Amino acid sequence: MKFLRQVFESLLFAYQALRSNIMRTTLSLLGVSVGIFAIVAVFTAVDSLNGKIRSEIDSFAGSGVLYVGKWPWLMQNNYPWWKYLNRPEIKYSEFRYLKENLTSAKAVAIIDGGRTGTVSSGSNSMDINITGASYDYNQVTSCPISDGRYFLPIEADNGLNVAIIGSKVAANLSNGEPIIGRIIKLNGIKFAVIGVIEQKGNDMLGFGGSPDEKVIIPYLTYASIFQKDRPQPDISVKAFEDDVNQQNLEGDITGMMRSLRSIKPKQEDSFSINRMDGLNQFFDGIFSVLNVAGALIAGFSLLVGGFGIANIMFVSVKERTNIIGIQKSLGAKNYFILFQFLFEAVFLSLIGGLVGIGLVVLITFIPQDALPLSLSFKNVLSGLMISSFIGILSGIIPAWVAAKMDPVIAIRSK
């Protein structure tokens, strides 16, 4: 109890010392405030960018989706395209077979979004991205409908001329009037608008263009329009959430595709099964580098702030040398003196850290269309821990010097 009481008294001494020198306290914590602000701002920006990209990947590719296609998704400099050039394209019959026989799949769809075109209504027209998709498209990827409805099975399976359009397309063609049920022309071919996709904003990664500038039509209709250009679809297979199921599903797909294409046991696959793991790992590496680089750059500001606190603490020890001598002559233990100055340094650093975090909070309230910033509890905690560590590091030597003073010499000092 005596030890705890003395620790509490040390806290009070530190608090009173900070209050008695408001101007010096304010100037001392500015350096730490700038450093913590820089580090937390970097972490917040990187985390927000990471979340934005992950969201777009999930929106484009879906979570837990396998893609069966001609080309493998390889993140490497020397892409061996010549190995895959002569592979056969994915066929609609292969999609039908997988859909009917893959019992371990949650949903199977065939998708091709590699074409651009022109959509028009009356005197209004715009360039758009065209996606051909089967009925299960909305089960393998995110396709929320804000107005109208999604495809009916009969529309998708019979290749009817119906279209679901992006929000920007709807705004450009509607002239303020209802767009659902209107006849539009897609590459000169008439389509009935049955739905409008919920507004998603700009696509940072450029996956098939902005979702707001997209037109989705049944795959069979798409294939008939672009049959001269040979559609290059992928079969998207939605797995159940656990990783074991995805691995089993990949094995089932491989076996069925090899059987369909009569691939002999020693022959290589003439298709690729892709997943977003490689892309996620690629971005993980980039964000790790950004975090380290940002922390190093911001760390220089924090280092300057730490030196500032250490300098002020040496000044504070010098000013209070006489008081230290009196306290020690009255029986104060070394740790009592050490805690006074150490707590003072930590308080200075923590207050500076809180100011820096507060500035980041203010920035997050500023509307950001391209990249909304979100300050996480993890980054707040990291900022407070870093500022506490800087306070301990900056104050330990001055506090140790004060604790080791000879009481007689200290009392005689002026």
Q: Which of 20-34, 151-165, 230-244 has the highest mean pLDDT?
A: 151-165
Query: Given pLDDT bands bounded at 50, 70 and 90, which one contains residue 62?
Result: low
Q: Judge if 385 and 247 occupy the same domain.
A: no
- In whole angstroms, give the CA distance from residue 229 to residue 32: 61
Q: Which of 183-192, 208-217, 235-244, 305-314 has the lowest mean pLDDT?
A: 235-244
Please identify which residue in the block is written with the tokens 């396998």: 66
> What is residue 185's predicted lDDT score, i.e. its pLDDT?
92
> What is residue 9's predicted lDDT score, i.e. its pLDDT?
58
Single out the residue of 23, 33, 39 nearest to residue 305, CA to CA: 33
Q: Judge if 172 and 220 occupy the same domain.
A: yes
Task: Decide if 299 is inside a domain.
Answer: yes
Q: Judge if 266 and 332 occupy the same domain.
A: no
Find all residues with CB under 8 Å of 24, minimum gap 6, and list them: 312
Q: Answer yes or no: is pLDDT of 349 > 60.
A: yes
Q: Judge if 385 and 265 occupy the same domain.
A: no
Task: Decide if 277 is inside a domain.
Answer: no
Average pLDDT, the chain: 81
pLDDT per residue over 243-275, tens digit each? 557 778 888 999 999 999 999 988 899 999 887
pLDDT per residue over 352-375, tens digit each? 888 888 888 888 887 776 667 788
Mean pLDDT computed over 296-321? 78
Q: Judge if 286 and 266 occupy the same domain.
A: no
- CB neighbourhood size of 308 (10 A): 20
Give the pTM: 0.64
Query: Given pLDDT bands bounded at 50, 70 and 90, which one contains residue 389?
Result: confident
Q: How many domains does the chain have?
A: 2
CB 405 within 8 Å of CB 346: no
Q: Which of 5-9, 153-157, 302-306 has the lowest mean pLDDT?
A: 5-9
Task: Decide if 73 is inside a domain.
Answer: no
Q: Answer yes or no: is pLDDT of 195 > 90.
A: yes
Final residue belonging to a domain, choices 270, 298, 313: 270
> What is residue 177's predicted lDDT score, i.e. its pLDDT?
83
Between 214 and 281, residue with greater pLDDT: 214
The token pair that represents 230 in the structure block: 């040979």
pLDDT per residue over 6-60, tens digit each? 555 556 655 666 566 666 666 667 777 888 888 888 888 888 877 777 766 665 5
Q: Judge if 50 and 158 occupy the same domain.
A: no
- In whole angstroms, give the CA distance from residue 302 to residue 393: 12
Mean pLDDT computed over 230-253? 80
Between 78 and 132, residue with greater pLDDT: 132
Task: Decide if 68 is inside a domain.
Answer: no
Q: Judge if 129 and 251 occupy the same domain.
A: yes
Q: Which of 143-147, 308-312, 332-336 has the highest mean pLDDT?
A: 143-147
Q: Judge if 262 and 344 occupy the same domain.
A: no
Q: Judge if 216 and 352 occupy the same domain.
A: no
Domain of residue 51, residue span: 1-57+282-412
Q: Judge if 117 and 208 occupy the same domain.
A: yes
Which stretches of 152-247 are assigned E, i.e. beta strand? 162-165, 183-186, 189-197, 214-218, 234-238
> What is residue 50's predicted lDDT score, i.e. its pLDDT?
76
Q: Judge if 260 and 288 occupy the same domain.
A: no
Q: Judge if 203 and 293 occupy the same domain.
A: no
